[in-house]
Amino acid sequence: MQPSAHVWAAILLATSLEAANPVSFTGEVRPLLTERCYACHNRSNPSGKFSVESVTTLLTGGVSGKAIQPGRPDDSLLVRTITGEKPRMPKTGRPLTADQVAKLRLWIEQGARDDSGGKDKQETWWSLRPLVKPSVPPTAGRTPVDAFIQKSLSEAGLAFSPAADRRTLIRRVYYDLHGLPPTPQDIEDFVKDPAPDAYERLIDRLLDSPRYGERWARHWLDVAHYGDSHGYDKDKPRPNAWPYRDYVIAAFNQDKQYARFIREQIAGDALYPDDPSAFVATGFLAAGPWDFVGHQELREGTTEKDNTRLLDRDDMVATTISTFVSMTAHCARCHNHKFDPIPQTDYYNLQAVFAGIDRANRPFYDDASANRQLQQLLREKREVQLRLQPLLDKVEFATSPEIVDLDSAIQDAGLQIAHIGLPKTPQDAALKSELEVRRERDRKRKTQLVEAIAGPETYASIDRVQAEMKILDERIAALPKPRMVYSGAAFFPRAGTFRPSLQPRPVFVLGRGSLQSPLKPATPGTLSVVPAPFVLPDDSEAGRRAALANWIAHPDNMLTWRSIVNRVWHYHFGAGLVDTPSDFGRMGSKPSHPEMLDWLAVWFRDEAQGSLKQLHRMILRSQVYQQQSARRGDGEKVDAENRLLWRMNITRLDAESVRDSVLSAAGKLDLKMGGPAVQWFSFKDDHSPVYDYARFDPDDPASYRRSVYRFIVRSVPDPFMERLDCPDPSVLTPKRSTTLTAIQALTMMNNPFVVRMAEHLAERLQSSSTSLPLQVREAVRICFGRNPTDAESMAFLAYAKQHGLPNLARLLFNSNEFLFLD
């Protein structure tokens, strides 16, 4: 994250050899001060009323006076506090190295020259500048996008590549929008379509198909790190995660306005109480991993418990902020952000937004009025629980030395009983029953002691309040069985030590990110550098999230709109205009086409009104997108990485597209949509459930469903998908890597799924025709979307004759042409 002391030492050592050179404040001194002093001494939090931000503030100093005396290092307070036997500063971490001190001394000796040009800070970073729509360059171009791209191409002395042929184009756009290949018939129809708007109609047709939502939802689930199990130790299944996955698919298919898509996922329950799907949308907040043992088994009141919650909120903050605004707020957990203007306070203020929410199953109905009724009853239950909980806590946390001992004895007996399991010897059986008797006796004794401490009035009160609760429970039980979604939840039934906070938990700004060093209470808030309003309707749990959702979706939040158009661009071209789609900070890359990015962002927000389908059309209709992918000498020379987009990028299919394409070619793809996740493993529940992929039959009907519907296990990845670069579902993945390994080749050759589907493709070919040459031709048309050349026909026919069609099918699945897109 930052160069360590070693690296600094090396840098500074190297420079000290050229002592005659003037030391630069912006290049050398400020980075060092930022690393070691800025966390406490900055403008927003000036400990000792002192900030190290600029030469001016150093000269002004703080409560102890001027920090530096230009030309006189020995008289400079700064030098004195960081040197000596036991330097007074920095208060945490190691003292500055001798080289670092020498560097500062030298700078002061040379007169503390300010080379920052009077600017306290560096110029506003590109992503944080207000969004202003630039004018489209006057270059002739099919679309505004083309005009921008062409402008930078001509500046580099380059031009667009010729348009790809229709066969290439239809395959490209099918995979892009559906993650599936076109059928031979689709291809022929398009190639032969004489209408000038054939391509535009094709795009419209693909965007109207539900396959589109299935494909693009998968991208979104990567970014949100969605999974169908909790992860960590035990990795319990999460059987109600899928309604959120279906929500995302539907949102894409319905072309939900992006601002609304944002609001629903963060605070749909609060902002759209009449829309049941908005309840499901908060599955976003719960998409990441969850520490079952920490939440459900650890004892209340321990540091470890608090840490579990801290890290759980951290995941919500990191996911929300990097997904929607492409900033790395999570880097400010232990100190102010080293590179971006995100003070530590901002980070904890964001934690405070999520201070009252956990991840849990939440009941809902698809019918709006039934749902309203249910949610109202749940709100009433929560009100009752607010009165009940303190009473129950009196009993639960009643303690005395004897109770502590009894607790230990009861727990130990439980463990011993579990350890014996099914008794194998009479001694074990005797021991077990003795333990059970003893445990029962201890429990009774404990109950007596607790009753004495809590007092009869507590129990009477509990009975009274529980009677109220019972009425509500009965009313809920009389309703039809609700659906469940694993989502952000502020109220849910207790499980083990996991229970709702009922009120937002207190959140503190933590020194060095440590629970042992609370500095000051955090208040709900967000990135202070963005001028969009953060308005709390009230201080309720849901109100906090609503404020954050509205801040993100606000037209003045420049990050939001830049972020989404860049993500969409990234998936269309295999590379974003900004190549770090979830990091628009100083550690991320800069946009290749900043003006076009801003133009698209404003256009998408205002003219397209947040319609993603409009954005797709804008991009897909461009000449840029329709270029050939072949390399050209002039382009290679000037821009080998193709950042300027003088050609289309060649991409390898992602894991989901590979599997879905194999199914499609085999004629086995089941296009049924939605519902519980399909399990491509044999499942055995246990202390830690067993997810066994080797024992799964690739001809199980579940196997034929699209990959987006698979049950994603966090602890044990699907070996086929993993080897094709499907990311670890616990990692926020804005961008997948593409690797080509021997193990991946083995999987494409030998995985039982591929082998079985090769047989199914062969069966399909045999039923299409009785002539082997025609079967071979059809195989190539299905897998490559074209007719075979004569040489290919001969070679494939000879191979199929000798070794059979299944072997040929398997070979085609393994070819580069099947797996790469031009």
Partner 1 sequence: MDRRSFLWNCGGGLGGIALASLLGRDAAAQARPEFSGGLHHQAKAKRVIQLFMSGAASQCDTFDYKPRLIRHAGEKWDPGEKVELFQSNPGVVMPSPWAWKQHGQCGKWVSDLLPHTAGCVDDIAFVHSLMSKSNVHGPATFMQNTGFILPGFPSSGSWISYALGSANNNLPEFVVLPDPRGMPPNGAANWSSGFLPASQQATTIRAGTATPIADLRPPASAQFIGVESERDGLALLNKINRNHAAQRPGDSRLEARIASYEMAARLQLSAPDVLDIRKESAATRELYGLDAEISADMGTRCLVARRLVERGVRFVQVWSGADNGFPRRNWDSHENLAKDHGELGAALDKPVAGLLKDLKSRGLLEDTVVYWTTEFGRMPCSQGSKGRDHNQMGFTAWLAGGGFKGGVSYGATDEWSYKAVENPIYCYDLHATLLHLLGIDHTRLTFRHNGIDRRLTDVHGHIIPELLA
Residues 678-707 that bind partner 1 (CB under 8 A): 686-688, 690-691, 694
DSSP per-residue string spanning 76-133: -HHHHHH-SSS-S--SSSPPPPHHHHHHHHHHHHTT----STT-SSPPPPGGGSPP--
In the complex, minimum distance from the CB of residue 61 to partner 1, in angstroms, rounded to a whole number: 29
Q: Is 440 in the site for partner 1 (CB under 8 A)?
A: no
529 binds partner 1 (CB under 8 A): no
Q: Check binding of 807 to partner 1 (CB under 8 A).
A: yes
CA-CA distances (angstroms) from residue 755 to 387, 440, 661, 744? 61, 58, 14, 14
**Could you tell me if 765 and 777 are in contact, meaning their C-beta atoms sit under 8 angstroms apart?**
no
Q: Which residue in the block uniquely carries the two structure tokens 């600017």?
A: 119
By CB under 8 A, tell whether 183 contacts partner 1. no
Query: Which of 165, 467, 672, 820 is the binder for partner 1 (CB under 8 A)?
Result: 820
Residue 395 within binding range of partner 1, rule CB under 8 A: no
What is the token pair recorded at 654?
């992602």
Alpha helices, H only, 336-488: 344-353, 368-396, 401-420, 426-454, 456-477
Per CB under 8 A, which region of 40-48, 56-64, 249-257, 416-424 contacts partner 1?
416-424
Q: By CB under 8 A, which span of 2-10, 135-143, 192-200, 251-259 interacts with partner 1?
A: 2-10
- Between 368 and 398, whose beta carbon lies closer to partner 1? 398
- Considering CB under 8 A, how many residues would be counted as binding partner 1? 123
Shortest gap between Cβ of 400 and partner 1 (angstroms)?
A: 13
484: CB partners within 8 A, 6+ apart: 240, 243, 361, 362, 363, 364
Question: Is 283 or 806 the residue whose CB approaches partner 1 more closely?
Answer: 806
Listed residue (399, 411, 389) closest to 449, CA to CA: 399
Distance CA 606, CA 596 (A): 15
Q: Quick one: which of 469, 673, 792, 797 contacts partner 1 (CB under 8 A)?
A: 792
For partner 1, which residue of 415, 467, 495, 535 counts as binding (CB under 8 A)?
415
* Distance separating alpha carbons of residues 781 and 791, to the nearest angstrom: 15
750 sits near partner 1 (criterion: CB under 8 A): yes
CB 521, min distance to partner 1, A:
24
Distances (CA, A) of 200 to 148, 329, 603: 21, 40, 20
Q: What is the token pair recorded at 610? A: 């947040």
Under the binding rule (CB under 8 A), the answer on residue 790 touching partner 1 is: no
Q: Which is nearer to partner 1, 357 or 413 (CB)?
A: 413
x-or-dash string of contact with partner 1, 575-594, rule CB under 8 A: x---xx-xx-x-xx------
39 binds partner 1 (CB under 8 A): no
Q: What does the alpha-carbon distance between residue 650 and residue 631 come to, in Å, rounded to a whole number?
A: 10
| Least Cβ distance, residue 754 to partner 1 (angstroms) | 9
Using CB under 8 A as the binding rule, whether residue 659 contacts partner 1 is answered as: no
Contacts of 398 by beta carbon, 8 Å cutoff, 6+ apart = 449, 450, 453, 454
Q: Among residue numbers 718 through 747, which ones bind partner 1 (CB under 8 A)?
A: 719, 722-725, 727-728, 730-735, 737-747
Measured CA distances, 187 to 25, 74, 193, 194, 676 (Å): 62, 79, 10, 13, 33
* Shortest distance, position 340 Cβ to partner 1, whole Å: 8
- Which span sits near partner 1 by CB under 8 A: 202-210, 382-390, 448-456, 789-797? 789-797
Angstrom distance (rounded) from CA 83 to CA 90: 10
- Identify the residue among 291, 358, 598, 656 touching partner 1 (CB under 8 A): 291
Nearer to partner 1, 471 or 743 (CB): 743
Among 42, 152, 550, 715, binds partner 1 (CB under 8 A): 715
81 near partner 1 (CB under 8 A): no
Provide DSSP, 253-266.
Answer: HTT--HHHHHHHHH
Nearer to partner 1, 2 or 461 (CB): 2
* C-alpha dist (Å) from residue 461 to 381, 395, 502: 16, 12, 19
**Angle at CA 303, nearest 5°, toward 302 and 309?**
100
Look at residue 784 and give its three-state secondary structure.
helix
534, 509 contact by CB (below 8 A): no
Query: Which residue type sits at 36?
Result: R
- Burial (CB count <10 Å: 0-12, 13-18, 19+), residue 339: middle
Alpha-carbon distances, residue 378 vs 383, 472, 540 (angstroms): 9, 8, 16
- Is the peptide bond prior to 90 cis by the omega test (within 30 degrees of 0)? yes
| CA separation for the pair 265, 263 (Å, rounded) | 6
Please select the residue that binds partner 1; options are 652, 668, 710, 777, rule is CB under 8 A. 652
Q: Does 717 bind partner 1 (CB under 8 A)?
A: yes
Binding to partner 1 by residue 1, rule CB under 8 A?
A: yes
**CA proximity to 564, closest of 521, 528, 615, 513:** 615
Nearer of residues 185 and 816 to partner 1, judged by Cβ: 816
Smallest distance from partner 1 to CB 691, Å: 8
Contact indicator for 221, 248 with CB cutoff of 8 Å: yes
DSSP 161: P
Our finding on whether 785 is near partner 1 (CB under 8 A) is no
The answer to the question of residue 421 lying near partner 1 (CB under 8 A) is: yes
Residues 6+ apart with CB under 8 A from 459: 395, 451
CB closer to partner 1 out of 135 and 802? 802
Segment contacting partner 1 (CB under 8 A): 154-162, 276-284, 298-306, 608-616? 298-306
Token pair, residue 245, equals: 């996955």
| CB nearer partner 1, residue 20 or residue 640 | 640
The pattern of x and - marking residues 442 through 481 that bind partner 1 according to CB under 8 A reads: ----------------------------------------
Range 622-651, binding partner 1 (CB under 8 A): 629-631, 636, 640-642, 649-651
CB nearer partner 1, residue 214 or residue 759:
759
302-361: contacts with partner 1 (CB under 8 A)? 302-304, 307-308, 311, 315, 318, 322, 327-328, 330-331
Looking only at residues 192 through 251 of this chain, which bind partner 1 when binding is defined by CB under 8 A? Answer: 225, 231-235
Bridge partners (DSSP) of residue 670 are 705
Q: What is the CA radius of gyration of the chain?
A: 31
795 lies in the site for partner 1, by CB under 8 A? yes
Query: Binding to partner 1 by residue 73, rule CB under 8 A?
Result: no
Nearer Cβ to partner 1, position 271 or 800? 800
Contact 604, 615 (CB under 8 A): yes
- Check residue 411 for interaction with partner 1 (CB under 8 A): yes
- Say whether residue 815 binds partner 1 (CB under 8 A): yes
293 contacts partner 1 (rule: CB under 8 A)? yes
- Minimal distance, residue 54 CB to partner 1, in Å: 25
Per CB under 8 A, contacts with partner 1 among 593-622 are none
**806 binds partner 1, rule: CB under 8 A:** yes
Binding test (CB under 8 A) with partner 1, winner from 159, 437, 749, 774: 749
| Interaction of residue 541 with partner 1, rule CB under 8 A | no
Nearest approach, Cβ of residue 59 and partner 1 (Å) = 31
Q: Name which of 281 and 310 has its Cβ closer to partner 1.
A: 310
254 binds partner 1 (CB under 8 A): no
Please tell me whether residue 141 binds partner 1 under the rule CB under 8 A: no
CB 728 within 8 A of CB 576: no
Residues 6 to 35 in contact with partner 1, rule: CB under 8 A: 6-7
Counting Cβ atoms within 10 Å, is residue 802 exposed (0-12), middle (13-18) or buried (19+)? exposed
